[in-house]
Structure 1
Amino acid sequence: MKQPDFALTQGWWYPAILSAVLLLVVFFMPKKRISWKEIYITFGIIGYIVWMVDMTIAAPFDFFDIGDPKKEGLPEILLYGIIPSCLSVIYLNLYKEKKKWFWVILFVLVSLILEWLTVKVGLMKRWNTWWSTPVHFVAYAFFLPWQLKFIRRNQN
Structure 2
Amino acid sequence: MKVYDQQFNQNEWFIVIVFVVFYLVIFFMPRRFSLTTSMTLVLVGIYIGMLSDHTISIPPFDFYDVNDNSSYQFFDFLTYVMYGPFGYIYCYIYDYYKFRGFKVLFYMLFWAGIAMLLEYTATKLGVFHYKQGYRLLFSLPIYLGLLSITLLYFDILLKREKNIYFNSN
**TM-score category, normalised to shorter length:** 0.7 to 0.9
Which structure's CA Rg is the greater one? 2
Query: 1:91-139 deviations in whole A, cap 9, x for unaligned?
Result: 1000022342342122111111000000111221125221111121122
Query: Is it true that 1:144 corresponds to 2:150 in the alignment?
Result: yes
Q: How far, CA to CA, are the matches of 1:62 and 1:118 in structure 2?
A: 18
Amino acid at match of 1:155: I
User: Helix, strand or coil: the match of 2:45?
Assistant: helix
Superposed, 1:1-156 pairs within 5 Å as 8=8, 11-32=11-32, 34-60=33-59, 61-83=61-83, 85-95=84-94, 96-98=98-100, 99-126=103-130, 127-140=134-147, 142-152=148-158, 153=160, 154-156=163-165
Maintained 8 Å contact 2:50/2:80? yes
Q: How far, CA to CA, are the matches of 1:122 and 1:57 in structure 2?
A: 18
What runs of 5+ residues in structure 1 fail to find an aligned partner?
1-5
The alpha carbon displacement at 1:71 in A equals 3.5
Aligned positions, number: 148
Distance 1:57-1:109 versus aligned 2 partners, 3 A rule = closer
Q: How far, CA to CA, are the matches of 1:40 and 1:132 in structure 2?
A: 26
User: Helix, strand or coil: the match of 2:89?
Assistant: helix
Maintained 8 Å contact 2:45/2:88? no
Maintained 8 Å contact 1:7/1:73? no
Q: How far, CA to CA, are the matches of 1:22 and 1:147 in structure 2?
A: 21
Query: 1:14-43 deviations in whole A, cap 9, x for unaligned?
Result: 1110111110111111234x3322121122
Distance 1:31-1:51 versus aligned 2 partners, 3 A rule = same
Maintained 8 Å contact 1:9/1:67? no
The alpha carbon displacement at 1:7 in A equals 6.2
> What is the percent sequence identity of the aligned residues?
26
Range that drifts further, 96-105 or 18-27: 96-105
Q: CA RMSD in A?
A: 2.2
Range that drifts further, 146-155 or 14-23: 146-155
Superposition TM-score, scaled by structure 1 size: 0.81
Maintained 8 Å contact 1:108/1:133? yes
The alpha carbon displacement at 1:54 in A equals 3.1
Q: How far, CA to CA, are the matches of 1:53 and 1:30 in structure 2?
A: 30
